[in-house]
Amino acid sequence: MTALHHEIMRYATLAPSHRNAQPWMLHVLDGDLFIHPDFTRRAPYADADDESLFISLGCAAENAGIAARALGLRGEVSFHPAGRGGLKIDLGAARHIEPSALFHAIPRRHNAPEAYDERTPSAAELEALQHCGADLGVDVVLVTHRPKIERLAGLLEAAHQIRGADQALRAELRAWTRVTEHAALQRRDGLFTGCGGGHLAARWLGPVLCDWLSSAPANGARAANRARKSGGFAVLIGASREPHRWVQVGRACERLLLHAAAMNIRAAVINEPMEVRATRLALAAELGNHSRLPNVLIRFGYGAAGLPSLRRPLGQVMR
């Protein structure tokens, strides 16, 4: 493995993932990069069919492909269904280097969960976001109309309330939440509350605070208020409910997030409505799409930059 391969893998691991679980294993074989699912890091209650896991793999593959092309390699991404599915990124030499603003945006892209200032991006910027799934078979539906945003805010609040009452979902969320700096730095994964401007706690208080955070009614009201102050939402809808289609959704998701970062638009992936079937169905109905469920919900706008979430050392995710 060369230093160039190592760098491309590093860019791959900067991708977002559900719960920041980083559910991937990487290795280079015969000059190509392979990204495999790590099912030990799945979320069986929130993501029973591993949809979000494969979306996360797609995000990592998109980063790897963009980085490879920017560094003079082919960077073509393909899905391999052997086993339970995996991805191959062609790292053969390309005829030319493909410079890309998205490549430079990879280390700058951070989840920005705080409130925005309600400004809507320009028509040209919205068009750039909307086309991010065009060649991947992924529909990107943008919501910028204020009455629709208000209805989405209501769905967000309802999703928080339903999820907060679900003991299994709450327990799973607690397992991935890091409310102390010690726990965050020790694990280097999961949802560190310090990255989202949330509560930090002493080590002894961590479990108590984590349980309160996962069920606090104020969470839903706060999420709804942030939704109302957004510039808009992007909803990504894949062609079908199969792992290779979920991977394409992940690639479109990361491409959209990178385009937003390159244009200094803040964005945050919103998981709650996707984890509650009732609100997911309601979102599909709101969009007028009753045949396909939405896969990803992204809030975007203008505001403070998010903080980078922690990543495990590359040695821990390499085969």
Is residue 316 domain-resident? no
Please write the tens of the pLDDT for every residue from 108-124.
999 998 899 999 999 99
**Measured between alpha carbons, how far is 68 from 52 in angstroms, rounded to an integer?**
24
- The answer on 273 and 163 residing in a single domain is yes
CATH number of the domain within which 93 lies = 3.40.109.30
Q: Which of 109, 134, 165 is the last residue of a domain?
A: 109
Count of structural domains within the chain: 2
Please report the pLDDT score of residue 202 as a whole number.
45
Q: In what order do the strands lie in the sheet with 266-269?
A: 139-143, 232-237, 296-301, 266-269
- The answer on 103 and 208 residing in a single domain is no
Residues contacting residue 118 through CB under 8 Å, at least 6 positions apart: 228, 229, 230, 231, 301
- The answer on 143 and 102 residing in a single domain is no
- The answer on 266 and 232 residing in a single domain is yes
Please write the tens of the pLDDT for every residue from 29-43.
999 999 999 999 999
- The answer on 30 and 142 residing in a single domain is no
Q: Which residue segment(s) compose the domain that 165 sits in?
A: 123-301
Cβ atoms of 156 and 280 within 8 Å: the answer is no
End-to-end CA separation in angstroms for the chain: 12
Please report the pLDDT score of residue 183 as a whole number.
87
- For residues 109-147, one letter each, b for 16 or more C-beta atoms within 10 angstroms of the residue's C-beta and e for the rest, the string is bbbbbebbeeebbeeebbebbeebbeebebbbbbbeeee
For the record, the structure tokens of 35 come out as: 């990204």
CATH number of the domain within which 225 lies = 3.40.109.10
Please write the tens of the pLDDT for every residue from 62-105.
999 999 999 999 999 999 887 788 999 999 999 889 889 999 99
57 band by pLDDT with thresholds 50, 70 and 90: very high
- The answer on 220 and 105 residing in a single domain is no
Please write the tens of the pLDDT for every residue from 266-298.
999 999 999 999 999 999 999 997 789 999 999
Cβ atoms of 8 and 67 within 8 Å: the answer is yes
Is residue 314 domain-resident? no
Please report the pLDDT score of residue 204 as a whole number.
42
User: Over pLDDT 70: what percentage of the chain?
Assistant: 92
- The answer on 252 and 150 residing in a single domain is yes
- The answer on 166 and 101 residing in a single domain is no
Residues contacting residue 233 through CB under 8 Å, at least 6 positions apart: 142, 143, 144, 149, 152, 227, 270, 297, 298, 299, 300
**Measured between alpha carbons, how far is 163 from 297 in angstroms, rounded to an integer?**
17
- The answer on 51 and 138 residing in a single domain is no
Please report the pLDDT score of residue 215 as a whole number.
53
Cβ atoms of 33 and 88 within 8 Å: the answer is yes
- The answer on 53 and 129 residing in a single domain is no
- The answer on 277 and 169 residing in a single domain is yes
Is residue 307 domain-resident? no
Is residue 319 domain-resident? no
